[in-house]
Amino acid sequence: MLLTVKDQWKAILKIWPSQAQQSQSSMQAVTCCCLESITGLRLAKFTNTDFCLAFTLSQYTNKQSLKAAKYFHRIILTYDITCQYHTKLKECFTKCFLQISNIIDIINCLVPKMHLDGHIDNCKYRFSLNFFKGAGRNHGEGIEQSWAESKQSGGSTRQMNHGHRHDKLNDYHNFWNWCKVQKMSESLFNNIIKGREQLSKIVDYFLGLCIMRGKATVDSWKEESTEPTWNEKTKQWESPYRLNVRKLPTQAEIFTSLLKQEQVIDQKSMDARKKNLAIHCMDTGVKLQTKQKGEMLPEEIRVACRNLLAKIQHYCKTQLQQMPDLGDIIVVRKEDDKEEKENVEVENEVLFLPLDLAQSEIQIANEAIMMLSNSIIHCMLLNDTRWWHSCGIMMNLHSLKYVNGIAKKKNGYATVYCQAHIVLLQLSDTEELEDFLKLESSDLYAKNAAGARRLGEGSVTDSWIWTYGRLKGMSDADKNDFHHTKSHSNPQKLSKFSGFEHELTWING
């Protein structure tokens, strides 16, 4: 004999008498994450979430056992305090809802992404949607969206009795569900189009990361389990996505490493200029060309133009000494310019740089991207440290000196690459280069791999600069072998991921 909802409610209160004595009350609701529709609503005490969840699950299974829910492979339940709620969930359903207690075995309890920021690190790696296989980019906060609409009915329902208010809210949410069903096909179609557009970018980015890390490292990562495990020694949950603090370098080590790399690059440049005067001349011409395109204050223009003109005249004499074959070309070009315009501004003075400058610009672009990547990571780590440890105006101002110094270097490296990119475009006479893309402001960003993912990071793909280094230095044979291997392995992975769409049924509580 099946009990009515009212009889079940009384039976639960007898089993859990402490809940009946509590004075704290709240509204419990359940939404379906796929459609964001209201599937269950109860005015109940805070600890009566079990009854609300059981009532919703019984609608899917028709109050039968797990056999009636055989088309469910997995159910994901997101709740603000899942880390505490899931511990007694099986025990409570065994005592109070025996007919559907087996369903708990296929329920995975997680925490919504926005609420997860308020939890400790153990929760961020154990109950995160970011690291759960098959969760996609769902945030799990669908129930919060419904409160914004539900609160609009407060003006008309606050003076109603309990029964009238309950019926009114049911009608309100049923109409809301009907409106969503009308636009369901349009919404799903738009999401599929966006997913297909982003798929190719994500696959290219994944292949680039695999190439940069090396085959041995990628193979070792494949063998690791992605499930979090409890470490009894450290008293924390271990995850392959979690980096221990001891693995990260200190700020002093990062600064020293960046300084050494800058010194190595400067030393190479100085050695090359000392060995070959022609290279020194070409390097001087590039620097003068940069000054020609630079910006300056109005009151400094006259003095700067006078100094720049003197340097250009000295450069032209040195250029003729080191590159005598350019003499005839320079004479012909100056005669043509003289017919068009006698007085040429110093910023428009032609420096006659050789066309083989492209190789030098490629090296400059490569080094600029490498140092730009390091500066972005360094600036990110300094900012995170400042947010955690800097308290008060004096400490913030003092720490900002270091952050602004690294940010200035970062912008400098970005400027160097942009200038090299412009020169390469001019030399190649094309509008776009396959190996050297245009640097946008959105490219100066990196996700913090040392911590848990933050809200909204799943919708952003890291820039191409993070897959740049070894991707351009591989031989054609290595590239063909790598792409051949990936073309045979990726379809299996993609088919496995596509199967998750049929397995998931979402319930947000």
Instruction: Give the 3-state DSSP-derived string for 286-303, with helices as H, strands as E and coil as C.
Output: HHHHHHHHCCCCHHHHHH
Signed CA dihedral, 302, 304, 307, 308: sign only? negative
- Are 368 and 338 contained in the same domain? no
Q: What are the C-alpha distances in Å from 497 to residues 57, 134, 453, 473?
A: 26, 7, 21, 32
Within a domain: residue 381?
yes
Domain that holds residue 254: 249-262+356-450
Beta bridge pairs of residue 90? none
How many CB atoms are closer than 10 A to CB 439?
21
Query: What does the angle CA 253 – CA 259 – CA 264 come to, to the nearest 5 degrees?
Result: 125
User: Would residue 478 count as lying in a domain?
Assistant: no
Distance (Å, rounded) from C-alpha 191 to C-alpha 182?
16
499 vs 440, which has greater pLDDT?
A: 440
Task: Reply yes or no on whether the pLDDT at 132 is more than 80.
Answer: yes
Does position 509 have pLDDT exceeding 60, yes or no? no
CA distance 412 to 371: 10
Boundary residue ending a domain (450, 481, 503): 450
pLDDT at residue 343 tops 70: no
Together in a domain, 10 and 131: yes
In a domain, 485, yes or no: no
Q: Rounded to a whole number, what is the largest CA-CA distance in the chain?
A: 107
CB 406 within 8 A of CB 378: yes
For range 300-319, the mean pLDDT:
77
Both structure tokens of 495: 């088919």
Percent of residues in the chain assigned helix, strand, coil, to nearest 5: 65, 10, 25
More confident residue, 221 or 25: 221
CA distances from 63 to 39, 152, 232 (A): 15, 33, 41
What is the percent of the chain where pLDDT is above 70?
63
Q: What is the pLDDT of residue 355?
A: 45
> What pLDDT, on a 0 to 100 scale, did the predictor assign at position 410?
87
Domain match, 169 and 287 both:
no
**Domain match, 138 and 28 both:** yes
What integer pLDDT is reported at residue 1 of this predicted model?
35
- Beta bridge partners of residue 28, listed in sequence order: 42
Question: Are 426 and 330 found together in one domain?
Answer: no
Which residue bears the tokens 């045979």? Answer: 488
Residue 201 falls inside a structural domain: no
- Banded pLDDT at 268 (limits 50, 70, 90): confident
Helices (H), 224-250: none
pLDDT higher than threshold 60 for residue 294: yes
- Whether residue 8 contacts residue 63, with contact meaning beta carbons closer than 8 Å, is answered with no
Helix (H) or strand (E) holding 401, with range, is: helix 393-428
In this structure, is residue 91 part of a structural domain?
Answer: yes
444 and 339 share one domain: no
Together in a domain, 310 and 375: no
pLDDT at 16 over 60: no
Report the C-alpha dihedral over residues 214, 220, 224, 226, rounded to 10 degrees: 10
Q: Which residues contact 468 (CB under 8 A, 6 or more apart)?
A: 208, 369, 373
For the ranges 83-97, 441-455, 461-475, the lowest mean pLDDT is seen at 461-475
pLDDT over 80 at 217, yes or no = yes
With tokens 């914004």, the residue in question is 148
pLDDT at 148 over 80: no
Q: Tell whether 150 is covered by a domain.
A: yes
Instruction: Write down which residue in 326, 348, 370 finishes a domain.
Output: 348
Measured distance CA(421)–CA(365) in Å, rounded: 7
How would residue 337 be classed by pLDDT, with cut points 50, 70 and 90? low
Helix (H, G, I), strand (E, B) or coil at 78: strand
Of 234-243, 251-260, 358-367, least confident by mean pLDDT is: 358-367
Q: 407 with 300, same domain?
A: no
Note whether 185 and 291 are same-domain residues: no
Q: Which residues contact 1 (CB under 8 A, 6 or more apart)?
A: none
Last residue of a domain, one of 402, 421, 450: 450
Q: Identify whether residues 78 and 181 lie together within a single domain.
A: yes
Mean predicted confidence (pLDDT) in 333-353? 59
Alpha-helix residue ranges (DSSP H) falling in 214-353: 215-223, 251-275, 277-293, 301-322, 326-340
- pLDDT at 66 (0 to 100): 52
Predicted confidence (pLDDT) at residue 2 exceeds the cutoff of 60: no
In eight-state DSSP terms, residue 111 is B
- d(CA 348, CA 292) in angstroms, rounded, equals 7
Average pLDDT of the chain?
72
Number of domains in the chain: 3
Is 160 a residue whose pLDDT tops 80?
yes
The neighbouring-strand residues paired with 237 are 230
For residue 330, being part of any structural domain is answered with yes
pLDDT tens digits, one per residue of 372-393? 888 888 888 888 777 777 677 7
360 and 418 belong to one structural domain: yes
Q: What's the pLDDT tens digit per position in 71-88?
A: 667 788 888 888 888 888
The top-scoring range by mean pLDDT among 106-115, 258-267, 357-366 is: 106-115
Per-residue pLDDT, 189 = 92
Higher pLDDT, 300 or 482: 300
User: Where does the pLDDT of residue 47 fall: very low under 50, low under 70, confident under 90, or very high at 90 and above?
Assistant: low
| Overall pTM > 0.85 | no
Q: Let me know if residue 239 belongs to a domain.
A: no
H or E segment to which residue 421 belongs: helix 393-428
Most confident option among 122-126, 244-248, 251-255: 122-126
> Is 325 found in the same domain as 383?
no
For the cut 60, the answer to whether the pLDDT of residue 482 exceeds it is no
Render 184-213 in DSSP notation, one character per residue. Answer: HHHHHHHHHHHHHHHHHHHHHHHHHHHHHH
